[in-house]
Structure 1
Amino acid sequence: MELRRNESIRKENIAVSLFRGIEVVSGRLTITSDRLYFQPNSLNIQTQSLELHLKDIAAVEKRNTLFVIPNGMKIKMHNGQEHKFVVWKRAEIIGMIQDSKMKQKMTVIIKTR
């Protein structure tokens, strides 16, 4: 992953799995000041990365995997798409994403004034 101008890494190499249809794709998540970037492990059948811009995220929620395991995270986009992840320390990760969104909004307000 290549950083863009004025973008900084908040947390990287977070071990996660992403649900893509019926397949669970394991990989690494990076949280930056502008986006979330999921890079699948090379051993997966599906190896396409996923990039979610913070400004496009409507909500980040806790969810249970298999209805009972409290290790899931759902990211809802403004366009209606949903991305479901399995992640350890989900409260910490969700907090980082929400914090990054808040800091991004503050930066936009400061730049436009």
Structure 2
Amino acid sequence: MANHKVMKYQDKDNEEQLHLYLDLIDEVRMNAKQRIARYKNLIARQYDAMVKLRHFKIGDLFLKKVSLATRNSAHGKLGPNWKGPYRVINCKRQGSYYLKALDKRKLKHPWNVEHLRRYYQ
């Protein structure tokens, strides 16, 4: 049973359209790349608008988040989520802090600000 597409199909026009499309493929690709770049810039601006920067001073007290790897499995889900307090001793770059426990023991690696919470006495 013939439908509208089959009835209107012409082999010569189809070949011409395919060759024309192959000639314009570079332009189509360029347009797609530009659209992707605009979309990525839009998403980056929206994300940056929602990010709230947190600045800490050296000497402030913080709690650090307990990760799944360091969590005591004997406590189960009722174990503490935060550990500390720790004191900030150095800031190598914004958002990355070196910590020291109150018993003067330094932590080897810097901690990201996402994993820190201010400690209030």
TM-score by length of 1: 0.29
Higher helix residue share: 2
Q: Comparing both structures, which one devotes a greater share of its residues to strand?
A: 1
